[in-house]
Structure 1
């Protein structure tokens, strides 16, 4: 809603929005409208989208905006930073740095509802395109409004380029976190009308409000948003990009109070979720990127643990941009077991420069706090969330189940959602997601009585295994693959873990369009190849198919690469070597068992002859097995 507020104040020529609120509708018969689709740069609300009609706001609220009226900060990052401009004859004029000092800045920051001045510099937020203010301010620093300050004629009537004064005010101390043991953790409270009031928000808006709170307090990234107690206070709605809660919409309502836990000293920015981004640490109340050379795997383990994420998955310079601010000037020396990055030792950097593109980016795995149970697979079953020392059932409203399921499958690395089934009604954790979150921790949650959620993800089946067995009983796996001699038989076996009964295996061969299919018996299937030739060379894979949960699922193995080679020796040499070995064995056997009697001698001679005949028959059979059909017929003709 802040962009709409900017348009309203601009159209009225009243400076910046100072605060926004919502009050009860005055039943005076006037027609109400809703503004939407403002970019913030429009000169009139008529350029925004408008919805309305008779009775459109019945039972609703009016939107209240307070504008700064006589001074504004433009082209900054929020309400409390920008180039100083003051109203002059119903137009806005930049202020020259020489005409503006620290006491003047204190009044401007107070006038626009911000904290004390933090930075004051010419050209800090550009030059502007209009006129330059022709007076010098002489504030004492205690005035409430800039118009209350005295002015005098400028000594020099020129203002050199680059001297339009830019001002950064600190955020006001009107938001705090209480009861969490740290200024960066606890229930959110907002100081209003002389007292601290509890802040609550709608279910779907909690993560956005929490992000603004952590940003306003300079407390890094949001770690978690546990549910609070229901009480009357501020109801706040944010887009998540605001620099403070003052830029968000607020009203008085009866809602659960918001509890926020921020990371405090480290944050991951410009990533895809809470567990990825460019590493930044707090340095003198500002955030600094960390150079890749000063950050290793053990440092990453501590950061991931502090943010409530899993183990580090990727660590690389420039992975999430280079950042625009300063660079951390120390080298971390974590041991990997610390709970907080601030607990780690540091040392001076050996090299005081950090080349562009070397700001370290970190991707942590999602924490193992979500699981699917009872479905026979880690990618199917009832959703459970580990909370407060126990696994709790997760439920969701009917219209939000697909979004929650998408987040669960994404977090578990299980592909996309195939189906969502309602479970039994029970008390557990009620979750609301938009569907784009990287984990359930980024969704809203509360404790409620709802049907548990059962989710089936696409990567239901585990990856099958593939291996080759040669005639000697050797087993080979992997893409590097085995080598088989031409003419030898081999077997390719597909197998999978015993998840579900039934199913079938499809053996695919990338060298051609040939495929073979066999049913899965005891979760495996064997494909026999009687004689290897060059047409068998190539890559093989097993595809396991099964029909479960009323859907067809499949999973493919890694590739097995097979190479066909010639025998190391010609076949006739192998046959003669075999014959000689058999004859030598026969003679040795006859000699050892030789007896002096003639009968025994005759028996031994007969035995030797039998052994020789048997050996020749074995060689003949071996030759026919190794020879092709043409060679076998030729051999028969010779006989």
Structure 2
């Protein structure tokens, strides 16, 4: 319509007509997608003769004024603080926060040829007096950009802080409860952003009430940019982090660390932030322990860099409760804005299913475990999020339970944890979730009764000719099941039933064909589905019987022989009779020793070698 910027969009009644879906970048409604479904009509109020271009949202951009049915940018020299106050008021925004030439780029058209002389009380910019410009040129980079603060039309009440509480919006002279249609995480992100309160920590759904209903995408700078209605919708409570936020991550628990400094946000240099600092931030967001901490992990911030070094002890409640010191080096090189990934908190579990990956869903809140429920049509999406959060693979089945008092959750299935889903305290049917990684990983180990196995550099090694056993076992989760032993050296497999949760696979004398990688696959039929879990690989090497063992055995025999000779010498008598007797005794001892040597040799030799040895004797 050529009517400047949007000032407000009050919704109307549901009516028969066009339903349109726009991204906001189209030049006309003809470029938007249309339908003939029932949708609420809408009323639009445009600024008509002034607009802010190239900014984020309603309240920032390059100032342009309508002139002869075209738009002209305004030179910085022709526009002052009082003029800015009129424009911010005309657009329904708060007081001017920034006013600078080139702040939002250069306009492509003409430049406004008058100087504004507003008093600051006018309702419209074109109601202000103007005068001819002293200089009719406007140098490049001087097209004035304006940032208005967001209006004080949103607040959080009842939470003990301006950054925590139930969401209320100011409209038509009074404060209304703000409700949301579906994923209240998007609306909460906008509220925290609008209030300058950091990132969202948690969102709780309240009672359904008459107020202002909003629907946001999550990228808006204020609730004024979201779609609104006056339907009965559940209100919600938002808790924001207030002084620290994680930006450009996935969910609540990851992103680039930014700290609030003089009402603006500053990224933190990697050198000024360590593991203990990370523990405090993760705890402040209600997340688990730090999992990754690295410069440039989530990109670079566009603003300033925090000029202090944090010195947290790790037990502080808030990052800004930590001690700080001056940085040794006042520069932070590109790529060093610290990014943090916290693990998901252990606030969700599955109980009563015999496995951490199966059972009724429970959520830890306010010091106790509560049942989690969901509407029938949303239970599958909730189950997908639960299995993902617990690291339990994909969803196999979802069984509804009894309606119970606890959490009601609403997920679209893309969330990384239930904390990112919308929740309420209404009665919802509980649900039981079965995930694919139901069975724990089985163990595999090698034993042999003859002592022919030893630990090599690459794993266990077995001497040729020795018997050995590979044993598969698992924890006692469920009765029954079977073990499949696979061998990667060939296509051979063996299967045995699980007896006392284990199975033993016996192998005859080891040879080179037994060398290779083995694994155990445990299969069981549980909850009307087949499940399986595979062990780690066992790499077995077959080697020849070692020469050192042969040498040691014969050295022992020689020591026995030497002992016999020494004994005979000690008991030697000078008489001829005694000499004869001693010689006979010595000869007997010698013969016995040689028989031991012969028996030892036969034990090591093969059948052919044994016959040869007998011939030698």
What is the CA distance between 1:621 and its match in structure 2?
A: 7.1
CA contact (8 A) 1:478 1:558 kept: no
Q: 1:628 to 1:226 in 2, by over 3 A?
A: farther
1:65-103 C-alpha deviation (Å, 9 max, x unpaired) = 111111111111111111111111111111111211122
Q: 1:617 to 1:139 in 2, by over 3 A?
A: farther
Aligned-partner Cα distance in 2 for 1:513–1:264: 61
What is the CA distance between 1:266 and its match in structure 2?
A: 1.1
Stretch deviating more after TM superposition (430-439 or 221-230):
221-230
Stretch deviating more after TM superposition (251-260 or 349-358):
251-260
What is the CA distance between 1:596 and its match in structure 2?
A: 17
Q: What does 1:182-193 align with in structure 2 at a 5 Å threshold?
A: 182-193=161-172
Q: Which secondary structure state, in structure 1, belongs to the residue aligned with residue 237 of structure 2?
A: strand
1:181-231 C-alpha deviation (Å, 9 max, x unpaired) = 00000011111122111111xxx2311111110110011111111122333
Q: Which secondary structure state, in structure 1, belongs to the residue aligned with residue 496 of structure 2?
A: strand
- 2:519 — aligned with what? 541
What is the CA distance between 1:377 and its match in structure 2?
A: 0.6
Q: 1:593 to 1:275 in 2, by over 3 A?
A: farther
What is the CA distance between 1:557 and its match in structure 2?
A: 2.1
1:284-304 C-alpha deviation (Å, 9 max, x unpaired) = 111111111111111111111
What is the CA distance between 1:466 and its match in structure 2?
A: 2.4
Aligned-partner Cα distance in 2 for 1:543–1:507: 6
Q: 1:473 to 1:366 in 2, by over 3 A?
A: farther
Q: 1:568 to 1:92 in 2, by over 3 A?
A: same
What is the CA distance between 1:573 and its match in structure 2?
A: 3.0
Unpaired stretches in structure 1, ≥5 consecutive residues: 1-11, 25-30, 49-64
Aligned-partner Cα distance in 2 for 1:504–1:595: 73
Query: Quick check: 1:131 aligned with 2:120?
Result: no
What is the CA distance between 1:520 and its match in structure 2?
A: 2.2
What is the CA distance between 1:408 and its match in structure 2?
A: 0.4
Q: Which secondary structure state, in structure 1, belongs to the residue aligned with residue 183 of structure 2?
A: helix
Aligned-partner Cα distance in 1 for 2:212–2:397: 39
Stretch deviating more after TM superposition (457-466 or 399-408):
457-466
Aligned-partner Cα distance in 1 for 2:343–2:534: 24
Aligned-partner Cα distance in 1 for 2:414–2:342: 18
Aligned-partner Cα distance in 2 for 1:453–1:547: 21
Q: 1:477 to 1:579 in 2, by over 3 A?
A: closer
CA contact (8 A) 2:154 2:170 kept: yes
Stretch deviating more after TM superposition (67-76 or 532-541):
532-541
Aligned-partner Cα distance in 2 for 1:488–1:334: 60
Stretch deviating more after TM superposition (290-299 or 609-618):
609-618
Q: 1:96 to 1:163 in 2, by over 3 A?
A: same
- 2:477 — aligned with what? 499
Q: How many residues align?
A: 602
Stretch deviating more after TM superposition (480-489 or 495-504):
480-489
Q: 1:151 to 1:421 in 2, by over 3 A?
A: same
Query: Quick check: 1:264 aligned with 2:249?
Result: no
- 1:560 — aligned with what? 538
CA contact (8 A) 1:423 1:452 kept: yes
Q: 1:197 to 1:450 in 2, by over 3 A?
A: closer
Stretch deviating more after TM superposition (627-636 or 566-575):
627-636
Q: 1:370 to 1:572 in 2, by over 3 A?
A: closer
CA contact (8 A) 2:183 2:421 kept: no
What is the CA distance between 1:485 and its match in structure 2?
A: 3.9
Q: Which secondary structure state, in structure 2, belongs to the residue aligned with residue 477 of structure 1?
A: strand
Q: Please, what TM-score do these two structures have when normalized by structure 1?
A: 0.86
1:529-587 C-alpha deviation (Å, 9 max, x unpaired) = 44444444443332222221122222222233334444552665345235335657888
